[in-house]
Amino acid sequence: MKLKTRLIIAFCGVILVPIVLFGAAIFFFSQYQVKSIEKTYGIEFTLESLANSMQVLSRSTEELCDKLKDQAKRDPDSFLDLGYLEELNGELESKFSYLVLRKDQKLYYQGTEDNIDRIFHQFPPYGEGDMTSDSGTYIGRDVKALLKQIDMEFSDGSQGSAFIVITANGGLPQMRSLLIDMVIAIVVILVFTGGIMIFWIYAGIITPLNKLKEATKRVKAGDLDFTLEAEGDDEISELCGDFEAMRSRLKESEDEREKFDQESKELISNISHDLKTPITTVKGYVEGIMDGVADTPEKMDRYIKTIYNKANDMDRLINELTFYSKIDTNRIPYTFNKLNVTEYFDDCAEELCLDLEGRNIRFTYLNQVDKSTMVIADAEQMKRVVNNIVGNSIKYLDKPKGQIELRITDVGDFIQVDLEDNGKGMEARDLPNIFDRFYRTDASRNSAQGGSGIGLSIVKKIIEDHGGKIWVSSKIGQGTTMHFVLRKYQEVPV
């Protein structure tokens, strides 16, 4: 999930979830307190009563008020009994009210320990109070209170009034409890919702960040042999994916560098070894001439030819090394031209024939393409291809009478060139690797089978740069055939 989407959801959650939970909390706690009020005061509680707790208390005392009115009519003198007054006051205490009795404008009894002198003078005179049980007289100057007045005449002729006093100082305890519960619920809901949202966002960010942190430490330490798995589609996961791509590319670059270093060391070793052999030979023959060993014209001629051939071998190795450096930097100098296939390979075959006859190797040439067939190629580089393949075949000829055959055939839009020898051949497991740089089917090194190990890799590079393809077939003990194809040149009609 995208980080932006996660934050939007968290923002909406912080707003909506508390509203829903707070609504549920209000419903639950209010139902609980309403039932508690109805059970305690024996009344039917309504939502309007939430705004006026005195109305609830007034309704809760209606039954007792009616009881006092009946008692005042039947036996008003009973109100002069303090025991009876204490009993009545005990009933009122459960309803958070108390009883006051006035006789001849004097305080006869008070059911509270508070000093009521400051409100006693506000009590209505005899006969002027509201006598209905569901109403009362409200006084709110010093102390806010609701009075329910019951007037009576005693047997001695004196007048009295019993007052049910309902104060508004504390209100309903259930209402206070409900408010406290609501405050606590709000705090808990906000903390809970905020904590859940923070944990959700934190968990979605910290997990990939920890992976990324660990990965950067390993890269810093030079360890690239690991995989950073990026799960999800958020921005941090995308960053982890980019980091993994960077790590993979660094790993590839490191492997390529190590491979290049190894190949360079191997090349230096190969070239050093292959240069040392002809140099040693040249040095030995030169010393022989200087010491007078070549004391006849025939010996002198043989020594000079040997020196010349070894100098040519060194020149070939140096040229291969120079050309290898151009391959490695993609700076092979090509000069593409239209070449007549028959004329070009006829000339190549003539040169090869002269060279191979001097090595006592039988050479055959077969050209089966139309004499007008043309290709686009670099004549010099194609000659290098042919010479490298032939030179490789010569190194591995193991028969007393060596044979090399050059065949040119037409294969549709391409011409195919086959160079076949009757050498010792190669194992099937070696065939996929022979075009790799420095690969050798025979790891032994001697003067007969030396070489830098880059000849066939040069061949493959040149053929591919010409838009062609090269492959090999071989059988142990029978020989090897190199095949490559070049696309024909065709005029495009305008």
DSSP code of 129? S
The answer, yes or no, to whether residue 482 has pLDDT greater than 90, is: yes
The answer, yes or no, to whether residue 233 has pLDDT greater than 50, is: yes
Give the model confidence (pLDDT) of 115-155 as tens digits.
787 788 888 888 876 655 456 677 766 567 788 889 899 88
Residue 196 lies in a domain: no
From its phi and psi, is residue 100 left (phi > 0), alpha (psi between -120 and 50) or beta?
beta
Of these ranges, 2-16, 149-163, 174-188, the one predicted with the greatest mean pLDDT is 149-163
Residue 217 lies in a domain: no
Q: What is the mean pLDDT of residues 455-470?
A: 90
Please give the structure tokens belonging to residue 229. 């798995």
Residue 450 lies in a domain: yes
- In the sheet that holds 361-367, the strands lie side by side as 361-367, 402-411, 414-421, 479-487, 469-475
Mean residue pLDDT across the chain: 80
Residue 63 lies in a domain: no
Q: What is the mean pLDDT of residues 229-239?
A: 73
* Higher-confidence position of 407 and 226: 407
* pLDDT interval class at 179 (50, 70, 90): confident
Task: Spell 410-421 as b/e; 16+ CB within 10 A means b.
Answer: eeeebbbbebbb
At residue 174, the pLDDT reads 56
Q: What is the mean pLDDT of residues 339-346?
A: 94
At residue 131, the pLDDT reads 55
The answer, yes or no, to whether residue 374 has pLDDT greater than 90, is: yes
* pLDDT interval class at 6 (50, 70, 90): low
Residue 304 lies in a domain: no
Q: How many residues does the chain have?
A: 494
The answer, yes or no, to whether residue 466 has pLDDT greater than 50, is: yes
What percent of the chain has pLDDT above 90?
20
Give the model confidence (pLDDT) of 89-109 as tens digits.
888 887 778 899 999 888 999
The answer, yes or no, to whether residue 42 has pLDDT greater than 60, is: no
- 156: exposed, middle or buried (C-beta count within 10 Å: 0-12, 13-18, 19+)? exposed
Q: What is the mean pLDDT of residues 169-185?
A: 66
Give the β-pairing of 159-167 and 137-139.
Answer: unpaired
The answer, yes or no, to whether residue 445 has pLDDT greater than 50, is: no
Of these ranges, 58-67, 79-88, 176-185, 427-436, the one predicted with the greatest mean pLDDT is 79-88
Q: What is the mean pLDDT of residues 437-451?
A: 54
Q: What is the mean pLDDT of residues 347-356?
A: 90
Cα separations (Å) of 162 from 69, 105, 251?
9, 11, 99
CATH number assigned to the domain comprising residue 397 = 3.30.565.10
Residue 396 lies in a domain: yes
The answer, yes or no, to whether residue 61 has pLDDT greater than 80, is: no
Which of 120, 140, 169 finishes a domain? 169
* Higher-confidence position of 159 and 331: 159
Give the β-pairing of 402-411 and 361-367.
Answer: parallel
Residue 324 lies in a domain: no
At residue 141, the pLDDT reads 61
At residue 448, the pLDDT reads 46
Give the model confidence (pLDDT) of 197-230 as tens digits.
777 777 777 777 888 888 888 888 888 888 877 6
Residue 68 lies in a domain: no
Distance spanning both ends of the chain, measured CA to CA: 57
> Which residue segment(s) compose the domain that 384 sits in?
335-487
* pLDDT interval class at 2 (50, 70, 90): low
* Total domain count, the chain: 2
* pLDDT interval class at 487 (50, 70, 90): very high
Euclidean distance between CA atoms 456 and 143, whole angstroms: 113
Which of 105, 136, 169 finishes a domain? 169
Q: Which position has the token pair 């806010």?
A: 144
Give the model confidence (pLDDT) of 276-332 as tens digits.
878 888 888 898 888 888 888 888 888 898 888 888 878 877 877 777 777 666 677
Which of 169, 199, 216 finishes a domain? 169
